[in-house]
Amino acid sequence: MAAEHSPRLVWVPQGFASETLRHVSLTEAQDGWTIDAVGFEVLTVQFSGRTSLTVYADGGATCTVAFGGEFDFRDRSGRLHELDADAGSWAPLQRLLELRHDLVQSLQVSHGGDVQIRFSSGAGVSARPDAAYESWEITGPGSLNLVCPPGGGDPRIRT
């Protein structure tokens, strides 16, 4: 079953009403989607097979963005670091710890499968699709679950 949000279609599992999308703070624009996580605070950075950032709202809502391969981290000074969650060594990933207590300024997903998080400090994290596997996944706020399909394109929504 597909639900239409503007001229683009998003895959929606059967039984997942399109009204539910509005309750999980997913807004579609011409170039992609915005997840309403503005002001959420980074409190968890995890390295374990995938690299995950979990952000928390004052009211208890959470949102986790997990990366399963290559992604970019632009630090507060503007320097770009090309990172890889699968690289084996966690040493380069430690740079992400500077995001602790930073606030989400925007969280966006493009129709092509790119994801970008911007933080109030000026730092940012982004990832592109991978040809062979799901390069990123967003879980929350609420029951929202977006997954970048292999090769890119519109994200899949799972519940």
Number of folded domains in the chain?
A: 1
Asked if 121 and 128 touch (Cβ cutoff 8 Å), the reply is no
44-70 tens-digit pLDDT = 999 988 999 999 999 889 999 999 999
Domain housing 19: 2-157
97-131 tens-digit pLDDT = 999 999 999 999 999 999 999 999 999 999 999 99
Within 8 A by CB and 6+ apart from 101, the residues are 41, 42, 43
- For the entire predicted model, the pTM comes to 0.83
